Amino acid sequence: MDYQRELLGGSSFLDRYEEQLSSLCRNQRFINMISLASKEAAEKTGSDTGKAGKNIISDTLFRERAYLLLPEYAHIVDDVARSGYSKKSAVLSIYYAAKILNASSSCGSYSASQANESAACQQDYHAQNSSNANARRIWEEIAFIIDKYRKDGAPEREFQIEMENAFEKLGWSRRLGEVIAQYTIPVGSAHSVRPDLIITKEGTPIFVVELKSRHLEQPRETPINCSPTCASSSSMWAC
């Protein structure tokens, strides 16, 4: 099959985007998308170069979100669009370029196992980056809440509600009974304590949170122990 005539600009398309196409050819996610588009076009129209086949290919690749998931792919599409062509034309050229490179073994520099390993590493890398960014965002939001209530005289109840929200950001759920306010805990047969918050796991309390204003005097003989999830003693609240 002569796919080169389907490319925008013919062989110059391969030269212009050699770096991006080479990278895409080693991405298992991209390989899977191309295979799916080719299979759907062949099954439904018998050809991937006819008008109906081209519509299926472009629809499949847009449906699989290749444009959003693969930066190299997006670079080519955007560059082609800036030249005055449609994104559909760019998508089809990427598809046919991959078929040409596949046929010439230019995409075969990795074995299947290496390609799978590379794809897995890329996914792990992006997942880790996303997780780190999300953790940073959550901490910044909690730090903002603490700083907001740093001044003396702020209502403790108001801050308690904010702290309940903060623990939910960290993964505990009020709906599931994992963050409970003003819960009475029996101590011995005749006494009990009532902390501001308790955090539970599968119905069992795992730690308590007692919110205190910084300006309140603490007895010297009573140390204040602060867990990593609570505000430090240098801020307005301690636990």
pLDDT by residue, tens only, the chain of 239 residues: 678 888 988 888 998 898 889 888 888 888 888 888 999 999 999 988 899 999 999 888 887 777 777 888 888 988 888 888 888 898 899 999 988 888 775 564 444 444 454 455 555 555 555 566 777 777 877 787 777 776 655 677 777 888 888 888 788 888 888 888 888 878 887 888 888 888 888 888 888 888 776 554 445 444 444 444 443 333 333 34
Asked if 106 and 31 touch (Cβ cutoff 8 Å), the reply is no
pLDDT score of 52:
92
DSSP letters of 107-131?
Answer: TTTS-HHHHHHHHHHHHHHHHHHHH
DSSP letters of 163-220?
Answer: HHHHHHHTT--TTTTSEEES--EEETTTEEE--SEEEEETTEEEEEE--EETTS---T
Helix axes 71-82 and 18-25, enclosed angle (nearest 10): 150
Whether the model pTM is above 0.85: no
pLDDT score of 110:
42
d(CA 185, CA 205): 9
